Amino acid sequence: MKILSISIPLLIAATVIFAGQPSIKKVFVVFSYHSEFSWVIDENKGITKGFAGNNIELELFYMDTKRKTSPEWKQAITDKAIASITVFKPDVLMVFDDNACEWVAKHYAGSTLPVVFAGMNFEPAHYGFPTANITGVVEHIPLKAMIDLVTELDPTVRKVAFISDDSPTSSGIDERLPSLNLPVEILEVVATNDFDEWKTKIMAWQDQVDAIGIFNYNTLKDAEGTVSMPPSNVMQWINENNKLPEFASFDFAVKDGALCSAYKAGNTQGRVAAEIVLKILTGTAPADLKITDPPESVRIVNKARAKQLGIEMQKDADYRIIE
């Protein structure tokens, strides 16, 4: 495999050429976030695995909307993405996560360019999908599996609260909560980018609930309200002040210090989306490919946080332990 990477401002172009195939197909990939974000790294791994053995030329574009959240930024970076897509002339466009779905994929709805999305937390109908040229992969956070894991670790959990940043990812999860029959009482669901409000809520919940669910904390603002805070700083404060078990929707939260997570893996999203793209490249119409929701989820537990909370780890449990 030959890999060529070219870095230019706000854009990373990568060409992946697999030997033994006579016809090169061009795929443009738009990521909602930045290339260093762990979720995006996993999505890229899945894309590589899904396209392995095929003659694909990829161009990768990163919108960086997890760190830069203003509408002005989103519009500017969307314009650059569309300009780059026009120059590249892909056979298929891939978009990852909700901001790319909202800002880029919708631009091509009803066009002749096939579009495959992945990592979508909202229901596809929120964006008007599917259309004749758009299909893909949803990322329904396994909320019941999250609850099942935290209650397995702490059987006293009966009442929970949820908190998240105010981002499209979190909003897509929040939208599904009322329709789910979860085996716990939900006291409150809060979505805010104000870290002071996070602190106030988490401290108030200490004697009101048994556990706290955390969706996302990547767009919380600094004291001036202009720049997203380092996520690890948020979790550090939680570890130092929260005395309740945390169950999270992504693995990076557990790596940052949360107790546990049941989550859909980014590499699965990337791999399944790439497999859909290959079907389109071999002649299947997007309209003939149903939107899919890969069922598998991963369970992980932070050993140090469990010890801090006085929770005993089970022997031979079917979850992965983060040291």
Same topology, domains 2-139+266-288 and 143-263+298-322? Answer is yes
Q: Residue 258: left (phi > 0), alpha (psi -120 to 50), or beta?
A: beta
The pLDDT assigned to 15 comes to 46
Arch. (CATH architecture) of 143-263+298-322: 3-Layer(aba) Sandwich (3.40)
CA 129 to CA 109: how far, in whole Å?
A: 8
Can you list the residues of the chain whose pLDDT is less than 50?
1-19, 21
Q: How does pLDDT run across 78-128, given as a tens digit for each residue? A: 999 999 999 999 999 999 999 999 999 999 999 999 999 999 988 999 999
Cis peptide before 130 (omega within 30 of 0): yes
H/E element, 58: strand 56-62
The ranges assigned to domains in the chain are: 2-139+266-288, 143-263+298-322
> What pLDDT shows up at residue 304?
95
Q: Would you identify the CATH topology of the domain 2-139+266-288?
A: Rossmann fold (3.40.50)
Contact 243/309 with Cβ under 8 angstroms?
yes
Residue 179, pLDDT score: 63
Task: Write the pLDDT tens digit of every residue in 164-180.
Answer: 988 877 676 666 676 67
> Which pTM does this prediction carry?
0.78
Q: Write down the pLDDT at residue 23.
A: 83
Q: What pairing do the DSSP bridges indicate for beta strands 211-214 and 159-164?
A: parallel
> Is residue 167 within 8 Å of 69, Cβ to Cβ?
yes
In degrees to the nearest 10, what's the CA dihedral of 230, 33, 122, 251?
Answer: -50
Q: What is the pLDDT of residue 19?
A: 47
3-state secondary structure labels for all residues of 87-103: HHCCCEEEEECHHHHHH
What was the pLDDT predicted at 168? 74
Q: Which pLDDT score is estimated for 133?
A: 98
Quick check: 46 and 268 in contact, CB under 8 A?
yes
